[in-house]
Amino acid sequence: MKRNRKKEYRILLIVTLVLLVIGIVMYFSASFGLFAKNPHRFYLSLIKHIGLGAFGGLFLMHLISKYFSINIFERYAYFFYIVSILLTLLVFIPELGFSHGGASRWVTFGFITFQPVEFLKIGVLFALSSWLARYSKKIREWKWFVFYFLLLLPVAIVLLIQPDTSSTVLIFMVAWILALSRRAKVSHLITVALFGIVALIALIMYRPYIRNRIDVYFHPEHDPLGAGFQIRQSKVAIGSGKVFGVGLGKSGHKFGSYLPEASSDSIFAIYANEGGFIWSTFLIILYLVFLFFGIRIAKNAKSLFAQNLALGLTLLIVIQSFLNIATISGLVPLSGFPLIFMSGGGTALLISLLEVGILLAIAKRS
């Protein structure tokens, strides 16, 4: 068991470091378009992404994996949950929050700008993991099953006001899978899933920007220079990479206005263009290995809380990454999910490495 524990810890750490190195190289490559426009902004973004995100995140990951006790997270799970909701509410304060693209999702403190929803996702996982650890034997009862999902109600309200439908759906997906892992009744899970689908359809009908994304997904040719521009250009970049890619740093899609958000949301399109099918497949395999060993760590964890938390963090990282790849490839409608360890954003990268640090801490103490 001790050998297995060390193996899981070591492989997860290696996979994370490989993904991080690939991410830094690709971020540097994808940001050349920004350098051509504004060199000052280019250097500033590199400092944030590599200095704060990569090195700061690695330091935090090491600190948590080596010195933090999982019992602390369990003891203060609901405190973290409440603090994360309050932090997310800062986006509505004019002096701190600011809007972009019609959504209020960012908070700025001078040099640092971040999305509080990244902290909220972890806070919610703490609360859900703690609740499931305490009431796992009762979750098969309808009353307790409803109480479990009621924990998500304040989160959904805060996120949908911003609006951030994508993160709301992601959190519900992870919560649903966690309930499934604790053997909740299939009939209850189906009922909640159907309710979620109906709620999502209602949101699509009520919010024009979601309807627009759905329309673009099915008919990208209707508005090729407007709403359908990003997905069409992403497909062109991915397809033109062919099998072996055009070569590292040689993609022309990151320059000018060929591909919006080349170093953040659309970074996989640049990666596929420069690395081709071979390197794209390698990246997907890395995320699958991360998923496999994350589940192994969850399975072998000491406590129910640690099991729930490890599984939730693994799903959070992998589902977001696969949804980003799927949206940029045109397999599902566009969303704002980042490609974990690769998309631009210093604080987002730091938080992702923090999540890995918690996973490693659980693996070390299995």
Decide: pTM greater than 0.85: yes
Quote the pLDDT of residue 234.
83
Residues 6 or more apart in contact with residue 270 via CB below 8 angstroms: 26, 29, 30, 237, 251, 253, 254, 259, 262, 263
Report, as an integer, the average pLDDT of 162-189.
Answer: 91
Strand pairing category for 97-100 and 112-114: unpaired
Q: Of 151-165, 171-185, 255-269, which gets the smallest average pLDDT? A: 255-269
Task: Judge whether residue 20 has pLDDT over 70.
Answer: yes
Given pLDDT bands bounded at 50, 70 and 90, which one contains residue 225? low
Averaged pLDDT, 99-115: 68
* Residue 159 reports pLDDT greater than 60: yes
Cα–Cα distances in Å, from 162 out to 10, 159, 254, 324? 39, 5, 29, 20
d(CA 118, CA 121): 5
Task: Please write the tens of the pLDDT for every residue from 31-80.
Answer: 776 666 667 777 777 788 888 888 999 999 999 998 888 888 889 999 99
In the predicted structure, residue 162 carries a pLDDT above the cut 90: no
- Contact, 52 vs 346, CB < 8 A? yes
- What gap in Å lies between CA 242 and CA 275, rounded to an integer? 9
Alpha carbon separation from 358 to 12, 141, 280 (Å, rounded) = 12, 31, 28
Q: How far apart are CA 362 and CA 356, in angstroms?
A: 10
User: CB–CB of 27/256 below 8 Å?
Assistant: no
Identify the pLDDT of residue 104: 64
158-167, 174-183, 215-224, 226-235: which has the highest mean pLDDT? 174-183
Q: What pLDDT sits at residue 100?
A: 61
- Per-residue pLDDT band at 202 (split at 50, 70, 90): confident
Residue 180 has what pLDDT?
93
Q: How far, in Å, CA of 34 to CA of 178, rounded?
A: 40
Which of 119-128, 252-261, 325-334, 347-356 has the lowest average pLDDT? 252-261
Q: How far apart are CA 351 and CA 341, in angstroms?
A: 10
- For tokens 């397999």, name the residue: 331
Percent of the chain with pLDDT over 70: 89
pLDDT at 132 over 90: yes
CA distance 283 to 275: 10
Contacts of 199 (CB under 8 A, 6+ apart): none
Using 50, 70 and 90 to split pLDDT, how confident is the model at 172? very high
- The pLDDT tens digits for 176-200 are 999 999 988 999 999 999 998 998 8
259 pLDDT more than 70 = yes
Contact 328, 33 (CB under 8 A): no
Query: pLDDT digit string (tens) for 265-317?
Result: 788 888 999 888 999 999 999 999 999 999 999 999 889 999 999 999 999 99
pLDDT of residue 294: 95
Q: 280: domain range?
A: 2-364
Q: What is the pLDDT of residue 128?
A: 95
pLDDT above 90 for 16? yes
Mean pLDDT of 204-228: 72
Residue 93 has pLDDT above 60, yes or no: yes
Q: How many domains does the chain have?
A: 1
Contact 350, 58 (CB under 8 A): no
Return all residues near 142 (Cβ < 8 A) that are at least 6 apart. Answer: 185, 188
pLDDT reading at 5 higher than 80? no
Q: What is the mean pLDDT of the chain?
A: 85
Paired strand residues for 100: 103
Q: What is residue 125's predicted lDDT score, i.e. its pLDDT?
A: 95
Model confidence at 261: pLDDT above 60: yes
| Residue with the larger pLDDT of the pair 101 and 84 | 84
Q: How far apart are the first and last CA of the chain?
A: 9
